[in-house]
Every structure is written in structure tokens, then in C-alpha cells.
Chains A and B, each alone.
Chain A
């Protein structure tokens, strides 16, 4: 698809920030998103289906999201599209965690 991921030739995005000694994960939630997504690679979703799911994030959101925010959005999209979870179940879990962790 002609989505926001196809950046070749696009101008006006600014310089690529390069961190010195960049960590693999910038916070613990990123590692969890990686683990959850990785556990579905090829067993639940062909990797190309996962890539396409990330590309289907609305363009404005895609361009302002961080790398693992895109992974999370793609995973949630596939889990709900294939009927493993409902959007309401995800929202309920977020509400529950917010209440128990604060």
C-alpha cells in the first residue's frame, strides 16, 4: 500500500537522531511489546502480515509514533482482527492496570 512507511524520496522529515550507546530498549514496556509480538511471529501471524498491520496505522499516527508503539498497534490490530481479543477487552485491561498500578 502507498502508506506512510514508504518514505523513500520524502523530504521535510529532518535529520535522523543518532543516539550514542543506544540501548536495545528505552523502557521496560518496549521489551514486553517485543516479547509479545515475537511470540506471535510465524506461529499466529506471518511476519509480513505483521509488517502490513503496522503500515495500516493511520498516516498521522504512524509518523508520530515511536518504533515500539507501532509494534504494539500492529499487534493489537491483528489480535482483534483475528478475533483473539476484542478492543473492549484491551481497554478493560488498560483500565484495570491503571487502577492497580497507580
Chain B
């Protein structure tokens, strides 16, 4: 366990500020992205028993990188207090038919925010 917390009680003022402003998980970093806008990417087939932001229904499916949101801490490792492991987050477009089959409307699509570690080259 490498992520240590302050274990200090939050003041009312700090709680109010957090509630109003939220908490940014973005990291100021020049880390290069693993993928570019327009790339085809495949969601990894993994079944971790630990925390992950990769939903079951998208694992193994191929989508297109539509946008690079920038670098953020990686919830899958933060959830275990292992490491912040900053990396790029992308908006990835999956067609509804790729996820749900031919019965899904051909024009429908789902946009999922996924991290570098969730994706591989198809």
C-alpha cells in the first residue's frame, strides 16, 4: 500500500469547498499518449477481482478513439491504494451493434472514458 492519506479530520470549510468545487483527478504531465484520435483500440479482456473502470460488456470489443482528455490518476490502482499511475484518458466510441449485436440500432453508439491501461491495439 503506497498511497497514504492524511487521516486528519476535514474542517467544515474544507468540506464546503470540496462540495462546491469537486476534486480534480487530472495530472499536469507531459506523459505521451499510447493512442491517437482516430485509432482503433480494443478493450482488454481482463477480470480483475479489484477495482476497475472497465465495464464487463465492453471487454474484448473494438472502438475508435474520439478524444484525448489528458492525463489523470488511474482509479484501478488508486482503488487499491497501490499507486496513482497517471495516464491518458480517452473518449472511445463503440457502436451499439459492436456491443449488443445486430438488433441494436445501426446509428447508435456509446462513448466510454477509458484509460491507457484498459486498451490495446486490436
Determine chain B's interface SS by DSSP, over half rule.
loop
Enumerate chain B residues within 8 angstroms of A2, measured Cβ to Cβ: 47, 56
Is there a chain A Cβ closer than 8 Å to B109's Cβ? Answer: no
12 pairs, A vs B, C-beta closer than 8 Å? A1-B51, A1-B52, A2-B47, A9-B100, A38-B10, A41-B23, A43-B8, A44-B5, A48-B76, A49-B81, A52-B80, A55-B51
Interface residues on A, range: 20 to 34
A residues near B (Cβ < 8 Å) are: 1-2, 6, 8-9, 38-49, 51-52, 55
Asked whether A39 lies within 8 Å of B10 as measured between CB atoms, the reply is: yes
Asked whether A43 lies within 8 Å of B56 as measured between CB atoms, the reply is: no
A1-B49, A40-B10 provided; 9 other pairs, C-beta below 8 A? A6-B55, A39-B9, A41-B10, A43-B10, A44-B6, A48-B75, A52-B50, A52-B51, A52-B79
Interface residues on B, range: 20 to 34
Enumerate chain B residues within 8 angstroms of A45, measured Cβ to Cβ: 5
Q: Given A48-B51, A52-B51, answer yes or no on A43-B3 (Cβ-Cβ < 8 Å).
A: no
Asked whether A46 lies within 8 Å of B81 as measured between CB atoms, the reply is: yes
Min Cβ gap B62→A in Å is 17
Q: How far is the CA of A74 from the CA of B99 in the complex (A)?
A: 31
Enumerate chain B residues within 8 angstroms of A9, measured Cβ to Cβ: 56-57, 99-100
Min Cβ gap B120→A in Å is 20
